Structure 1
Amino acid sequence: MGYSQYDPSMQGRAPWNAGKTVGTKRPLTQKQIWAVRFFLDREGRLRDRALFDLAIDSKLRGCDLVKIKIGDLVAGDEVRTRAIVIQQKTGRPVQFELTNDVRASLLAWLELRGGSLDEHTFPSRVDRSNHMSTRQYARLVDEWVTAIGLRRAEYGTHSLRRTKASMIYKATGNLRAVQILLGHTKIENTVRYLGVDVEDALLLAERTEI
């Protein structure tokens, strides 16, 4: 429910987005990805390295990422090469790949973490039977990007979701493939999410010889 600007109770109250950058968060570059990995490895933060790597590869929203269970990622004594989850927002399944480096960091974390297949991969600090909160995940992302010299106002959890998708789009120009990978129901959502504009379209056209 909205409030009138003349409502006395709202006088002097700062807007929710005061001092915040509102809009699409920037994806990370390859160089920035490796900078974050170097920082986390140097600090010996196995959980955070696994969380960061999984966020990049899975391209999942934060609400889906934190709820992933060990059984979603593991088959026998190995980390899967592909996984599938049901998205909270759409109720639809989405698949994602797990590349070799990501599987290695996940395996290192899971060996340290232990636990059964029906437990969350990244448990809450407060209640080990529950998953990490999306707020905690967002705080971690703020910490990671700040550690490598980026402005946290320009980056967030959606930066990690967009990173690999943006790279795939730039390399291929295949919006339909990116739509599937992001789990979007409409390609228009993918266009908006990636920030595809006229300049992108013209560059793709210029690279196409007929």
Structure 2
Amino acid sequence: MQWDLTAFARHLEERGKSRLTIKAYLRDVAELERQSRGRAAHDITRQDVAHGLAARHAQGLSARSLARMLSAWRMFCDWLVERGERTSNPCLGLHAPKQGRRLPGALPVDATSAILDALPTGTALELRDKAMFELLYASGLRLTELTALDLADVDLEQELVTVRHGKGDKMRIVPLGRAAATAIAAWLAVRRSRDAAMFTTLSGGRLGARQVEKRLARCGERLGADRHLHPHMLRHSFASHLLQSSGDLRAVQELLGHSNLSTTQIYTSLDFQHLALVYDAAHPRAKKNGD
């Protein structure tokens, strides 16, 4: 049998696949046909499929795209088996490369400070926003943790904040830092609400997560930031900058509220230049003769 993609498309339609999915699958199977170099579909071997995946991976195709491609090839070969054109599916047992966990980009230290220093403070809302954004970066809070904060959770005298997260009301206490404490004090001086929430709306109710996201994105646009700003970026920047400066993964784990150290290892990323400097300064064999 040759590569009857028209019949395969009808099969996909009968399976209820969407037009876009069918188009993508046909494109992927056409790629397998090109790699077959003129051989019939029933002659494709497991080695051919593995080689095809490896070749596309070497060309830079993402893990997500490779997984979709293998899925299309597997479905096509299943269809051939159903039609009696093959006795087995050569794709069975093969797996695409695992998809790496995508990390949010951390801001450089200088850029983070420049943005926070440039935040306007002319109105009550601007004072509130500055307090929120300073706190996100100073303490590495999750967005849900920020919006869940109550007045009683913040100790400005000790510069500490009590953070609650997730089911079971897990709690940790983390430092605020002088800049965040100053910004929060300025916000509290103009805050007008009887609600227990630390950060409130103009009407006095607790501020929602989506509102925080919009306010930060808008601030970034007004200040000419070179990327879209979002709360998780400030948390990631907090973790990355702290880890770069201290190298203490356990301490960063505690501050972030991660249950497993492996999560912190994935979440935080050391700057390579920083690693190189540490290596050059610390490793005996890295030092030049005469140093």
Q: Distance in 1 between matches of 2:119 and 2:274?
A: 34
Question: Given residue 97 of structure 1, which amino acid in structure 2 is its aligned partner?
Answer: P
Say whether residues 1:192 and 2:266 are aligned partners: yes
Tell me the alpha carbon deviations over residues 62-105 of structure 1, each in whole angstroms, 9 at most, x when there is no partner. 0110111111114xxx5541121221267421221122222111
Q: Distance in 1 between matches of 2:144 and 2:165?
A: 9
Tell me which of 238, 244, 256 is aligned to 1:182. Answer: 256
* Structure of greater Rg: 2
The residue that corresponds to 1:147 in the other structure is 222
Tell me which of 146, 153, 161 is aligned to 1:72. Answer: 153
Tell me which of 171, 177, 180 is aligned to 2:245. Answer: 171
Say whether residues 1:128 and 2:209 are aligned partners: no
Normalised TM-score (structure 2): 0.56
Q: Helix, strand or coil for the counterpart of 1:93? A: strand
Structure 2 segments unaligned to the other structure (5+ residues): 1-14, 24-100, 285-291
Say whether residues 1:105 and 2:183 are aligned partners: yes
The residue that corresponds to 2:39 in the other structure is none
Task: Name the count of aligned residue pairs.
Answer: 191
Say whether residues 1:25 and 2:99 are aligned partners: no
Tell me the alpha carbon deviations over residues 126-182 of structure 1, each in whole angstroms, 9 at most, x when there is no partner. x633x21111111122122223322444x4211111222211100121111111110
The residue that corresponds to 2:144 in the other structure is 63
Q: Distance in 1 between matches of 2:168 and 2:280?
A: 36
Question: Given residue 32 of structure 1, which amino acid in structure 2 is its aligned partner?
Answer: A
Question: Given residue 123 of structure 1, which amino acid in structure 2 is its aligned partner?
Answer: T
- Structure with larger RCO (C-alpha < 8 A, sep 6+): 1
Question: Given residue 182 of structure 1, which amino acid in structure 2 is its aligned partner?
Answer: L
The residue that corresponds to 1:51 in the other structure is 132
Question: Given residue 92 of structure 1, which amino acid in structure 2 is its aligned partner?
Answer: K
Q: Which region of structure 1 is more displaced relative to structure 2, 168-177 or 37-46?
A: 37-46
Question: Given residue 130 of structure 2, which amino acid in structure 1 is its aligned partner?
Answer: R
Q: Helix, strand or coil for the counterpart of 1:195? A: coil
Q: Helix, strand or coil for the counterpart of 1:66? A: helix
Structure 1 segments unaligned to the other structure (5+ residues): 13-21
Identity over aligned pairs, percent: 24
Residues 98/133 of structure 1: CA separation in 2 closer, same or farther (3 Å cut): same
The residue that corresponds to 2:17 in the other structure is 6
Question: Given residue 147 of structure 1, which amino acid in structure 2 is its aligned partner?
Answer: R
Normalised TM-score (structure 1): 0.75
Kept in 2, the 8 Å contact 1:179–1:187? The answer is: yes
The residue that corresponds to 2:160 in the other structure is 82
Q: Distance in 1 between matches of 2:271 and 2:112?
A: 25
Say whether residues 1:137 and 2:212 are aligned partners: yes
RMSD: 3.2
Kept in 1, the 8 Å contact 2:103–2:267? The answer is: yes
More helix by share: 2
Residues 5/173 of structure 1: CA separation in 2 closer, same or farther (3 Å cut): farther
Q: Which region of structure 1 is more displaced relative to structure 2, 82-91 or 46-55?
A: 82-91
